[in-house]
């Protein structure tokens, strides 16, 4: 045996030495391509029963959770409210008064704690290997962080108390919690890749969490808006929906979305590439009350798919110019319809993946890979050093995104009455075309259904696709309990 072993060493001395010194390559076993070495510590972190720096998942947390959440807030029922109640806060008059602003703050403080407690309870019911996923863990920690901060905030008795509360909620919208949206989707993709949870149940969970997220943000943003209006000297809320809803020109939003798509196409290929012509037909003068960020996201995501497919078809077939994209606008008493038609050859893959956040394993891996390529996103953790006390959490959470498509956009000064909403969904929309996340239509469907609408896709193989977006007329449902999607 010694002679045989010596012979092997004699034949490959240099190669054996190099192999011993070279680190083993485990990338072929990874669900995604390695992005950077910084992600390694978090892989190890997920293997532990308790994250090392966690404030909310540890041996003591069980008793605190039992006392404050399970036996108290989780037993309370949320209060469904209509858009009219949200804007006027149970007052028959739209006039803004100091007492109304204070009552609004009290309602938001209690309601947000109750609603977020319900979502924490839902996450606690998931299998351990799902909620212990790196991304779902960030969401759980973030939710519990929000719950504790709202629960412990002092009672709002004066206008000064409300100003402190407004600044407090503004920071929550802008800090690490703004990353919950991508973390939710990435967690779902990873769980799909490893068969940790059934796809249909995961889609149901994400849809529920997204709907409740919309309701919570609307409640908070409306309170910030009415507070800002009152401080700036405005004595009445705008119309019956509040200032966060605005009159939107369908044509202008379509043209703005088209310009964004053209810019991304030129950046991905070359500036002089021929671009599809956008043709707008039907009720081209339509103006309606809606939430600007949601309308921008819905139309932008749908047009993004149409432009991407049209350019690829133009290149694949070697056409003289890209086929036009036609948007037909239809207005009726209860809803508004946008039909986006392209001639890009239709959808090749099955329709079942279009509305799923999880996808097939192969497509989930592709989507997850593109998520990890977004700057900084794959290693952002609530345990990172960005939560040291020397710098505010909002500034540290923003640091990895400076000069990227995910840079925060929210700015607000409560004393001067200026407020610009945080826009996580818009930041996802503004990613370069090369990053295909595969969840755009699923997201759009959740948002459309939230506003009493729908999104359908009709594909004709060899010809093109019609994407039909329906949005409810909010002026017809101001007294409906719109924010019951808790």
Nearest alpha carbon to residue 396 among 81, 179, 114: 179
Measured in Å, how far apart are the chain's first and last C-alpha atoms?
71
Tokens of 243: 């200032």
Q: CB–CB of 94/237 below 8 Å?
A: yes
Position 453 scores a pLDDT of 94
CA distance 307 to 309: 6
List phi, psi (to 5°) of 385. Answer: -65, -5
Positions of the chain with pLDDT lower than 50, given as ranges: 1-21, 23-24, 26-37, 90, 378-379, 385-422, 486
Q: What phi and psi values does residue 468 have, to the nearest 5 degrees?
A: -110, 110
pLDDT value of position 439: 84
pLDDT of residue 221: 86
How is 187-235 classified by DSSP, letter by letter?
A: HHHHHHHTT-S-HHHHHHHHHHHHHHHHHHHHHHHHHHHHHHHHHTT--
What's residue 480's pLDDT?
59
Domains and CATH numbers, the chain: 45-244+375-426 (1.20.140.20), 245-349+431-486 (3.30.565.10)
How many angstroms separate the CA atoms of 192 and 199, rounded? 7
DSSP 8-state class, residue 325: E
Two tokens at 134?
Answer: 């790196």
Q: HSE-up of 319 (CA within 13 Å, CB side)?
A: 18
Question: Distances in Å between the alpha carbon of 368 and those of 152, 297, 383, 471?
Answer: 37, 21, 22, 30
What pLDDT, on a 0 to 100 scale, did the predictor assign at position 305? 93
Helix, strand, coil fractions of the chain, as percent rounded to 5: 55, 10, 35
Q: Which two tokens stand for residue 91?
A: 């007052």
Which pLDDT does position 45 carry in this prediction?
A: 59
Burial class (CB in 10 A: 0-12, 13-18, 19+), 373: middle
CA distances from 124 to 44, 118, 128, 237, 341 (A): 22, 10, 8, 40, 43
Q: Which of 33, 52, 30, 49 is nearest to 41 (CA)?
A: 52
Asked whether the CA dihedral 254, 256, 259, 264 is positive or negative, the reply is negative
**What is Dmax (Cα atoms) for the chain?**
98
Q: Give the per-residue pLDDT at 414.
A: 41
317: Cα separation from own chain's centroid: 35
Q: Which long-range contacts (CB under 8 A, 24 or more apart) does 482-485 make?
A: 482/81, 482/82, 482/83, 483/80, 483/81, 483/82, 483/83, 483/86, 483/215, 483/218, 483/219, 484/78, 484/80, 484/81, 484/215, 485/211, 485/212, 485/214, 485/215, 485/450
What is the DSSP-derived secondary structure letter of residue 65? I
Rounded Cα gap, residues 271 and 263, in angstroms: 8
pLDDT at 236: 66
């Amino acid at each position: 045996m010694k002679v045989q072993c010596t012979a092997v060493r004699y034949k490959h001395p240099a190669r054996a030495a190099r192999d011993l010194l070279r680190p083993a390559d485990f990338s072929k076993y990874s669900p995604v391509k390695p992005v950077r070495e910084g992600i390694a510590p978090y892989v190890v972190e997920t293997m532990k029963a308790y994250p090392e720096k966690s404030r909310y998942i540890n041996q003591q947390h069980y008793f605190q959770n039992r006392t404050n959440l399970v036996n108290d807030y989780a037993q309370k029922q949320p209060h469904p409210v209509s858009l009219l109640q949200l804007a006027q806060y149970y007052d028959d008059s739209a006039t803004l008064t100091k007492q109304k602003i204070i009552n609004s703050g009290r309602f938001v403080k209690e309601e947000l704690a109750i609603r977020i407690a319900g979502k924490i309870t839902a996450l606690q019911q998931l299998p351990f290997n799902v909620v212990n996923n790196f991304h779902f863990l960030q969401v759980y920690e973030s939710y519990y962080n929000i719950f504790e901060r709202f629960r412990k905030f002092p009672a709002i008795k004066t206008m000064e108390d409300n100003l402190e509360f407004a600044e407090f909620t503004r920071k929550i919208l802008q800090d690490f919690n703004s990353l919950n949206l991508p973390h939710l989707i990435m967690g779902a993709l990873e769980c799909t890749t490893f068969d940790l949870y059934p796809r249909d149940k995961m889609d149901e969970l994400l849809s529920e969490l997204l709907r409740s997220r919309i309701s919570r943000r609307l409640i908070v943003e409306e309170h910030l808006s009415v507070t800002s209006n009152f401080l700036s000297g405005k004595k009445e809320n705008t119309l019956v929906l509040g200032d966060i809803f605005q009159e939107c020109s369908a044509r202008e939003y379509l043209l703005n979305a088209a310009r964004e798509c053209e810019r991304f196409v030129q950046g991905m290929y070359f500036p002089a590439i021929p671009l599809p012509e956008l043709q707008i037909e039907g009720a081209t003068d339509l103006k309606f009350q809606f939430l600007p960020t949601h309308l921008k996201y819905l139309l932008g995501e749908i047009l993004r798919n149409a432009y991407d497919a049209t350019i690829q078809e133009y290149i694949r077939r070697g056409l003289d110019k890209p086929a036009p994209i036609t948007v037909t606008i239809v207005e009726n008493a209860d809803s508004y319809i946008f039909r986006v038609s392209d001639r890009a050859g239709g959808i090749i893959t099955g329709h079942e993946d279009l509305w799923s956040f999880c996808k097939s394993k192969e497509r989930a891996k592709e989507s997850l890979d593109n998520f990890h390529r977004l700057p900084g996103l794959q290693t952002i953790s609530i345990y990172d050093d960005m939560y040291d006390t020397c710098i505010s959490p909002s500034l540290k959470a923003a640091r990895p995104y400076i000069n990227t498509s995910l840079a925060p956009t929210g700015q607000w000064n409560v004393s001067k009455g200026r407020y610009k909403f945080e826009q996580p969904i818009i930041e996802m929309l503004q990613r370069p075309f090369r990053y295909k996340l595969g969840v755009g239509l699923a997201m759009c469907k959740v948002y459309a259904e939230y506003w009493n609408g729908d999104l359908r896709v009709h594909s004709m193989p060899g010809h093109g696709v019609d994407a039909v977006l329906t949005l409810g007329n909010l002026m017809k449902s101001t007294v409906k309990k719109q924010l019951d999607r808790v």
